[in-house]
Amino acid sequence: MIFEIMIILMFILLFLLYYNNYFFEYYVNIDTYKKTMLDNNKKHLYKTGFSKKMSIYTDDCSEKCDATKCTMLSERTKSLNKCIECNSQKYKCYRNNVESITGGSCEDCDIENVEDKLNCFLTSNYGCPPPNDLNSVNGVRPYYIEVPDNSPVSPYDRKCVFCNNIFDEI
């Protein structure tokens, strides 16, 4: 008797799984995904960010974190500062060099207004996503956070997560 009940329950479970997958494929297709994710007009998605209690660090992290990532954070901050300083000068523009870890160079240009020059704070340039809206393209100064590390191979109870790869780490 128990065996027959188990068989019936298994068939019901398989039936539900099959039709759940069918309804999921029917309602969530590539057009819906593009409309919601790629053509986002901020009505369909919520802001993602850190809580107000999360500590944001911009200081030297060499004692707490991986030296390589700390160097990258430091260089990104230096490049942002050079970009801002260059763009504040008349007839000077900061040219982005994506191949170099040290950023770009300050060159002569015909642009006078700072608003028309390279936006240094964009997340595609030298800025980092703001902690209160991680999906924003307008960035802030580079930072890192410390999060709990429950890894059994790590001797520390915290790990550093840097703003340039925040989605990879969390």
Question: Which range (28-42, 87-101, 112-126, 136-150) has the least confidence?
Answer: 28-42
Mean pLDDT value of segment 113-129: 83
Taking only the tens place, the pLDDT of each residue in 18-65 is 665 554 454 555 566 556 555 555 544 555 677 777 788 888 787 788
Segment holding 63, helix H or strand E: none
Q: Nearest CA to 71 among 166, 167, 164, 168?
A: 164
**E strands within the chain?**
92-95, 105-108, 144-148, 158-162
Q: Is the pTM of this model over 0.95?
A: no
The pair of structure tokens assigned to 61 is: 């992290």
State in Å, rounded, how far the first CA of the chain is from the last one: 49
Taking only the tens place, the pLDDT of each residue in 2-23 is 888 888 988 887 776 666 555 4
Asked if the model's pLDDT at residue 115 lies above 80, the reply is: no
Give me the residue spans of the domains in the chain.
67-142
Mean pLDDT value of segment 141-164: 77
**Residue 44 confidence (pLDDT):** 46
Taking only the tens place, the pLDDT of each residue in 64-104 is 888 888 888 888 888 889 888 988 888 888 888 756 666 78
